[in-house]
Structure 1
């Protein structure tokens, strides 16, 4: 195992991640979560919306406010 390879891989991904904000990353993850639920379960769109809403309602108020402001 070459630790330099892991370091280069980390730098590559951290450079990519610096191009997007954490809010964009959060939204991308949330969209991926919705897609996975839609493609791999028999849940209705309404049920998926309900799950996402429940998740969003459990977020700390500061985070929720920043997401809504963006």
Structure 2
């Protein structure tokens, strides 16, 4: 597998203006997945999630019994 260039990451518009800076950046990948990194320390690297893994993750964040 060859590395693909990532599009620019985005920060959520829901981030408060007076944020403590504890944010992550999320970029869409060509295969429908996501690439996530710490916005304060991008040199730590990027976590890659497949489209299915990202859907499962976000569903768990938003699901309410």
For normalisation by structure 1, the TM-score amounts to 0.29
More helix by share: 1
Could you say which structure has the larger radius of gyration?
1
